[in-house]
A and B are shown apart, each in its own frame.
Chain A
């Protein structure tokens, strides 16, 4: 598997370990930022860039698993790889269930760490792409007029223009114009496209009962 270089954050209260891990990760071309305190990490974290976090479980100020919760609650979905001196199985299960990529034991093998970092970065990239797309679609949706939005909600139920026109009480021609504008603004080429986009942005179909 070819490694894709990415941004890696390290959080461990032991500076020497940060240095060693940085060196290791840099050999694979990653950009590494090391922090000894959670506060320093939070101050430096860029949420727009895909990145992962290698996190020490046992830190003086805060427990690693607790910090994971805090990040989730803050909506920071950075993929986390845990490092621990002496982890227990319940602890690792908890971490993984909460979304951690991996739970590694110190001393950590380079291959294990690098593989986990790759996975995490891929997840981050994927998450980033989804996020970007969602942002774009939301932006496009915001460009629709309320009438166009109404028409869109009817289109994704699979109705024909004539049916929509009847439902909305206008002419079929008018609906046709609206449909054309919606397709254009949302960047869709087909009704199927529109349905997928509507799903992504969380837009529900129009009230079907009213149409019967």
Chain B
């Protein structure tokens, strides 16, 4: 063995290996033509290197001439493959230059087979053995053919073609690729041409061999392709992962859609067409196999909801963005279900509404539960009111007793007056007037009571807060007297009306007043004072109920609003919580603060009609 054999066999082996690998790659990825082109060029270079090795070892002129002639075939393949590779892989290079390379190289091959002995030599006169790399190698002696220039021009054109392509992709920003391929080829071209010219023209004692100089190009191409393969592998991996996660999220989505019983739909706005999922059609009660349209959708709705829904849809389509609808659907079995639908208008490239996409779901149960909860709240508020009024029984008895007592005494006085002779008719007339007015007063007390005891929907209206305070004080008057509590009112004379439910507001105030009374139970009789202040501030009216009692229980002031929190032996602990929720229903607030000296102040804040 010697260096020439080792190097040329090594080159051939390396090229064949690479060719095989990339052929296999191409076999898997048929549309990856770059691999095929590379494989061809590598295989051809392997053949070239075998030819060169044979040439360097030959002992006959005929054999050398034959080898020199047939070597052009793999060279032709190399040229074509490289052009193909550059074209398919780099997607660059001037087309005409490519054709020129192919034509000149093909022409060279054709001429090579016409002239004798081959394209390189006009005539081979003999052989010469020269020592090279520690071995005796054969080189031809003869006259060079002028056609050799055609081969060299073809090589030069190939160099230009590749450099031009590299420049183009450099310009596109793919600098690394341009450097590797362009640099690889530039090196190859320079080596080939230089070596050939030195070998043939310079008369140097060197064999003509192109395979070592083509090796850098082959390696550069292989490097590029391998990088691609690695990237393909990575992408494949990522793709597999993302496919898996996509499938996972699709399944999750499907599960969510199915579990939540969401009906999906898309409306094509310009064409008025509609697509809807099976679930949606089931929700709307479509018979199996019916194609939904906007018209038959509207027809399935409750008659009262048809026109408003259609209008809302049209408005949404016009305005774009997202929208939310609620409508009742008449099911085939006669049942009415309440649906909520949320949609989004998608705009086309020219800003035109293109399609609406959304979900529909059944909110009947939720709605019923909401109504039930609302009903419970109303009931609870009512019960709490009745309970509060129960605590006021003394007051109520007094409020009714007082007019009744006045009426009775008046009436009995009248009876006596009429029994006299002569009867004092003028006095009796005055008495009757008083009786009528007292009767009215009793009627009003009952009216007031009835409105408090009535179980009804909350009705928010504009109220005079001071009037509410006075009403409640009238109701509680005798209870306050019995409990030795005196009330001082500091009511602002001109306050804007507030938003609230009169009954609820009275209930809240009643509760707060009775709590204040309870808080002062241990105070001396002269030391039980409640101060009620009303003030207006911005768009709010505040009512402050100040007592001088035992103060808030230790801990958070907020705890007194929690359900079942109570400091009273027989308390339910619901009063203040209910009061707060009643106020919240009309955007009011209720909170407690400890006074600087002693006792507590309850704050009631209500939204007023005054501008902020």
For the complex, is B228 an interface residue (Cβ under 8 Å from A)?
no
Q: Which of A16, A60, A107 makes the CB contact (< 8 A) with B434?
A: A16
Are B398's CB and A85's CB within 8 A?
yes
A207 to chain B, nearest CB (A): 50
Query: Residue of B at shortest CB range from A59?
Result: B481
For the complex, is A21 an interface residue (Cβ under 8 Å from B)?
yes
Are B484's CB and A107's CB within 8 A?
no
For the complex, is B282 an interface residue (Cβ under 8 Å from A)?
no
Are B406's CB and A60's CB within 8 A?
no
User: 14 A–B contact pairs at CB < 8 A?
Assistant: A14-B406, A20-B434, A23-B410, A24-B409, A24-B413, A26-B413, A27-B420, A85-B394, A86-B398, A106-B404, A108-B405, A109-B412, A110-B408, A110-B415
State A20–B437 Cα separation when bound (angstroms).
13
B550 to chain A, nearest CB (A): 22
A12 to chain B, nearest CB (A): 10
State A98–B386 Cα separation when bound (angstroms).
38
Within 8 A of B (CB), among A24-39: 24, 26-28
State A21–B416 Cα separation when bound (angstroms).
13
Chain B residues in 8 Å Cβ range of A110? 408-409, 412-413, 415-416
- Chain B: interface secondary structure? helix
Are B405's CB and A107's CB within 8 A?
yes
Chain B residues in 8 Å Cβ range of A16? 406, 434, 437-438
Are A23's CB and B409's CB within 8 A?
yes
Q: Mark B380-421, 1 if CB is under 8 A from A, else 0.
A: 000000000000001001100110111111101111110010
Known A19-B434, A108-B409; further 7 A-B contacts with Cβ < 8 A = A14-B402, A20-B431, A23-B414, A27-B416, A85-B402, A86-B398, A107-B405
Q: Which of A19, A20, A26, A107 makes the CB contact (< 8 A) with B401?
A: A107
Are A86's CB and B394's CB within 8 A?
yes
B218 to chain A, nearest CB (A): 115
Are A20's CB and B406's CB within 8 A?
yes
B478 to chain A, nearest CB (A): 6
Given contacts A20-B406, A58-B482, A108-B405, contact A27 B417 (CB under 8 A): yes
State A58–B409 Cα separation when bound (angstroms).
19
Task: Give A residues with C-beta under 8 Å from B.
Answer: 14, 16-17, 19-21, 23-24, 26-28, 58-60, 63, 83, 85-86, 106-110, 113
Query: Residue of B at shortest CB range from A22?
Result: B413
B30 to chain A, nearest CB (A): 105
3 closest A-B pairs by CB: A110-B412, A106-B405, A107-B405
State A14–B401 Cα separation when bound (angstroms).
12
State A86–B402 Cα separation when bound (angstroms).
11
B162 to chain A, nearest CB (A): 113
Query: Residue of B at shortest CB range from A83?
Result: B405
State A60–B482 Cα separation when bound (angstroms).
9
For the complex, is B258 an interface residue (Cβ under 8 Å from A)?
no
Chain A residues in 8 Å Cβ range of B417? 23, 27
Are B481's CB and A107's CB within 8 A?
no
Query: Residue of B at shortest CB range from A66?
Result: B525
A13 to chain B, nearest CB (A): 9
Within 8 A of A (CB), among B183-225: none
Are B484's CB and A24's CB within 8 A?
no
Are A23's CB and B427's CB within 8 A?
yes
State A86–B417 Cα separation when bound (angstroms).
29
A50 to chain B, nearest CB (A): 23
Are A107's CB and B478's CB within 8 A?
no
Given contacts A24-B412, A85-B397, A86-B397, contact A17 B405 (CB under 8 A): yes
Query: Residue of B at shortest CB range from A24?
Result: B413
State A82–B137 Cα separation when bound (angstroms).
150
For the complex, is B20 an interface residue (Cβ under 8 Å from A)?
no
State A154–B34 Cα separation when bound (angstroms).
159
Which residue, of B407, B415, B416, has the highest number of chain A Cβ atoms within 10 A?
Answer: B416
Q: Mark B321-348, 1 if CB is under 8 A from A, else 0.
A: 0000000000000000000000000000
For the complex, is B486 an interface residue (Cβ under 8 Å from A)?
yes
Given contacts A23-B427, A58-B478, A110-B413, contact A17 B398 (CB under 8 A): no
State A23–B426 Cα separation when bound (angstroms).
12
A3 to chain B, nearest CB (A): 12
State A113–B402 Cα separation when bound (angstroms).
16
Given contacts A23-B427, A24-B413, contact A108 B478 (CB under 8 A): no
Chain A residues in 8 Å Cβ range of B482? 58
Chain A residues in 8 Å Cβ range of B397? 85-86
A76 to chain B, nearest CB (A): 22
State A107–B401 Cα separation when bound (angstroms).
6
State A14–B438 Cα separation when bound (angstroms).
12
B268 to chain A, nearest CB (A): 77
A141 to chain B, nearest CB (A): 44
Chain A residues in 8 Å Cβ range of B438? 16
State A27–B310 Cα separation when bound (angstroms).
80
Are A17's CB and B481's CB within 8 A?
no
B417 to chain A, nearest CB (A): 6
Chain B residues in 8 Å Cβ range of A17? 402, 405-406, 409
Query: Residue of B at shortest CB range from A113?
Result: B409
State A85–B406 Cα separation when bound (angstroms).
12
Query: Residue of A at shortest CB range from B397?
Result: A86
A30 to chain B, nearest CB (A): 12
Query: Residue of B at shortest CB range from A25?
Result: B413
State A20–B406 Cα separation when bound (angstroms).
6
